[in-house]
Structure 1
Amino acid sequence: MLRILTASLAFVATFALAEEAPMGNRVTVNGMEMYYEVSGSGTPLIVLHGAHMNIVSMGQIIPKLAETHKVYALELQAHGRTTDIERPITYEALADDVAAFMGAVGIEKADVFGYSMGGVAGLQLAVRHPEKVAHLALASIAFDSNGWQPALKALKETMNVEMFMALPMAKTYQTLAADPNGYPALVKKLIDLEHEKFAWEELVRTIKAPVLVISGDADVASLDHTLELFRLLGGGVMGDMGEPLPTARLAILPASSHTAVIGQVDLLLELIEPFLSDETPDSALFP
């Protein structure tokens, strides 16, 4: 856990100086004031951050994606500059927030890239609001709470608000937060989210949008679970049979822990950009 949180802080310190942030905006969504930033031009792409993160701590992936897309980077409930409301944080609620945001700013349909908590919310967005999702790139997620690594499951049992408040993350939160004293409440909600039980196999089968699944080979979900997700989405078949490949794609990043995934910007771009453009390598048999 210390590694996860200190890595997020490192992103904040490094990239806050490297990029001048786009002009931020706020819109009322489901009773909260949601903060978001728009950058670039082209087809709309919504970017969703992980737990305890914000737009800044997502790092260089946002400005890089904005070189070819009109990126809408959101800060989810009680994260960053978005206000909190009297409601638990659940993946379903976060997905509904994204859908409501799209309606509020006039986005009919968009590509979505989500990391960790934001990726699971993106998965639920495709389930609950399929008409709003064109392509879905998901990094470091699970579709079933049994898919988390055993070490993470054990760690969750030790989580409490005090351990988070003792970390530098608590002070960093204050620099952006709409409520500088709101971190304990956010931590409690995120701990509750960590304990949420879910099993969405049948829901995943209903997703029609093309999905790119990205995972580190030492990520928070087991590799077996990630492969199962890929197969549920229609992947894992043999190519070179004269038939189009499935729209689902899978990428496993080598030597990559959970927090290492989002920092590999060039590699992520090499995976995400062709996916969003529906590009596939030529086959020697069926170019």
Structure 2
Amino acid sequence: MIRTAIIAGALFVTSAAVAQSGQTVPVNGMEIYYEVSGEGDPLIVLHGAYMNIPSMGAIIPRLAETHKVYAIEFQGHGRTTDIDRPITYPHLADDVAALMDAVGLEKADVFGYSMGSAAGLQLAIRHPEKVDKLVAASVSYDVSGFQPAFAAMIPSMTPEMFVGTPMEDDYRKLAVNKDGFRALVEKLIALEHEPLAWGAKVAALETPVLIITGDADVATLEHAVAMFRLLGGGEMGDMGAPLPASRLAVLPATSHTAVIGQVDLLHAVIEPFLQGETPKGMFDQ
């Protein structure tokens, strides 16, 4: 869930990948922007911090080949307005739940990346009746899982790391309030300092979760494995017991910002999970 200036390159490389069209709906005092594409079972897509729908790149149209995709822009991001409220994961999750109510979507699969993955996790925790399956790419459920280098950097984050950079220029292209970038940065820096200790709640989830992580992601590999074990995974699969509903995928040679651009790899693990397909072993009949 890294949210620093190093993600700027990922934003600009993918910024033209998805058509910028859609609509807004009033939710919790904001006008939340979303786009609908494709046909099939509903799938909500949630972007990372400082991002928007276009910067999620080609994974959205790829998923829309087999799903009705609802791509959402969070509070203060993209074309969604900001309000006088902190950005927290529970707030983001409740916004998604309220948007689902507003558009008549009772239940859906959810795919979140980075900040969006933590928001999706909170959606499954706080509104389990609304989430069928959750795909969480580059997710953390506890601050102890951050890479040491990232954890050490959080206290030094300041708005000046972002304000006046190309990231602000990119923000202005879509923002309703062209001068709202600093306020957004301040909220996202504050988000880094929010308590993050959801282990017990993750262990209590009944929602199937696909954890996707890069092998050089912002959270450690040990953290991804620990989350998988909390969800019932990690046991030997050829001893007669059924495979767990949750899954773990590790993308090779992949940093945090490289996760979202690996469309073929992402699709290859996401689609079978959403369809309930599993590889057959030699003992399967």
Structure 2 residue aligned with 1:133: 131
Counterpart amino acid of residue 19 in structure 2: E
TM-score of the superposed pair, with normalisation by structure 2: 0.97
1:172 pairs, out of 170, 173, 192, with: 170
Shift of 1:82: 0.2
**Runs of 4+ residues over 6 Å off in structure 1:** none
Structure 1 residue aligned with 2:28: 30
1:242 and 1:286 in contact (8 A); partners too? no
2:9 pairs, out of 6, 11, 16, with: 6
> Are 1:39 and 2:42 matched, yes or no?
no
User: Please, which runs of 5 or more residues in structure 2 have no aligned partner?
Assistant: none
Q: Deviations over 1:163-205 (max 9, x none)?
A: 2013101011001001111000000000000111221111001
> Are 1:211 and 2:209 matched, yes or no?
yes
2:78 pairs, out of 72, 77, 80, with: 80
Shift of 1:2: 3.7
2:158 and 2:189 in contact (8 A); partners too? yes
- Partners of 1:197 and 1:216 lie apart in 2 by 24
Shift of 1:9: 2.1
Q: Deviations over 1:186-230 (max 9, x none)?
A: 000000001112211110011111110000000000111111001
- CA-based RMSD: 1.0
1:140 and 1:258 in contact (8 A); partners too? yes
Shift of 1:26: 0.5
- Partners of 1:149 and 1:65 lie apart in 2 by 30
The size of the alignment, in residue pairs, is 282
1:98 and 1:125 in contact (8 A); partners too? yes
> Are 1:233 and 2:231 matched, yes or no?
yes
Percent identical across equivalent pairs?
Answer: 63
TM-score of the superposed pair, with normalisation by structure 1: 0.96
Structure 2 residue aligned with 1:20: 19
- Partners of 1:48 and 1:284 lie apart in 2 by 37
- Partners of 1:179 and 1:99 lie apart in 2 by 25
> Are 1:65 and 2:96 matched, yes or no?
no
Shift of 1:6: 2.2
User: Please, which runs of 5 or more residues in structure 1 have no aligned partner?
Assistant: none
SS at match of 1:97: helix
Structure 2 residue aligned with 1:115: 113
